[in-house]
């Protein structure tokens, strides 16, 4: 194995699981997600090998992955979905000012609150608007910094911060809504 090949694979290894996690968000099936990761790695290697992009920070592969997903979405939208809403549209989705109090969650014991989250948090996350889901996934799932996310999404850092705050608020709103619908007493937090 050449030094370049070994170095590239050393770069890929810690990102492997996270690349698949994010690819699964873009792709319509697990198999398409794996193909997306495969294409990402091929392009990543082409850039690395040619010396085209020498800033091999962790987010770099995720930038490539999103670029590939965007191309596939334009060419044949069946395999991937990439919802790109404008900043104003996202603001309308969570119109609350970011300085306002967060939605209250069920008043309960700590254990019951834990159980509530175990049951409903994943579903609330899945129900988020795709751009909100994406930014949370890139941060919490892929463990990218806001700066890296800004590169992936090709938007300013401030937009990432604002979108992240709105996404987490949206998640909180959904959970509060699920709690109310389930008959939980929503009031002061546990």
Under the binding rule (CB under 8 A), the answer on residue 112 touching another protein is no
CA distance 170 to 127: 10
Q: Which residue has the tokens 């319509």?
A: 28
CA distance 163 to 158: 8
- Interaction residues for another protein, span 61-90 (CB under 8 A): none
For the CB of residue 10, give the shortest distance to another protein in the complex, in Å.
Answer: 7
3-class DSSP assignment, residue 189: coil
CA distance 84 to 134: 10
Under the binding rule (CB under 8 A), the answer on residue 52 touching another protein is no
Under the binding rule (CB under 8 A), the answer on residue 99 touching another protein is yes
Piece in contact with another protein (CB under 8 A), picked from 33-41, 60-68, 73-81, 83-91: 33-41
For the CB of residue 142, give the shortest distance to another protein in the complex, in Å.
Answer: 9
For the CB of residue 143, give the shortest distance to another protein in the complex, in Å.
Answer: 6
Piece in contact with another protein (CB under 8 A), picked from 41-49, 65-73, 80-88, 176-184: 41-49
Under the binding rule (CB under 8 A), the answer on residue 13 touching another protein is yes
Contacts of 91-94 with CB under 8 Å at 24 or more apart are 91/166, 93/129, 93/132, 93/166, 93/170, 94/132, 94/166, 94/167, 94/169, 94/170, 94/173
Q: Are 152 and 138 in contact (CB under 8 A)?
A: yes
- Residues forming a β-bridge with 27: 80
For the CB of residue 12, give the shortest distance to another protein in the complex, in Å.
Answer: 7
Piece in contact with another protein (CB under 8 A), picked from 63-71, 79-87, 99-107, 176-184: 99-107
- Interaction residues for another protein, span 138-157 (CB under 8 A): 139-141, 143, 145-146
Under the binding rule (CB under 8 A), the answer on residue 20 touching another protein is yes
């Amino acid at each position: 194995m050449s030094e370049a090949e070994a170095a590239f694979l050393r770069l890929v290894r810690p990102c492997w699981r996270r690349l698949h996690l994010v690819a699964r968000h873009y792709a319509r099936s697990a198999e398409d997600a794996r193909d997306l990761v495969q294409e990402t790695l091929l392009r990543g290697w082409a850039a690395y090998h040619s010396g085209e992009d020498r800033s091999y920070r962790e987010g770099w592969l995720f930038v490539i992955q999103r670029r590939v997903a965007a191309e596939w979405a334009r060419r044949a939208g069946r395999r991937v979905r990439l919802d790109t809403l404008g900043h104003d549209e996202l603001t309308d989705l969570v119109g609350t000012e970011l300085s306002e109090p967060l939605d209250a969650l069920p008043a309960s014991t700590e254990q019951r609150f834990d159980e509530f989250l175990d049951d409903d948090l994943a579903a609330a996350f899945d129900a988020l608007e795709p751009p909100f889901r994406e930014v949370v996934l890139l941060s919490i799932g892929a463990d990218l910094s806001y700066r890296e996310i800004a590169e992936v999404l090709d938007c300013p850092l401030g937009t990432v911060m604002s979108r992240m705050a709105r996404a987490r608020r949206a998640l909180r709103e959904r959970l509060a809504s699920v709690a109310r619908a389930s008959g939980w007493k929503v009031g002061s937090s546990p």
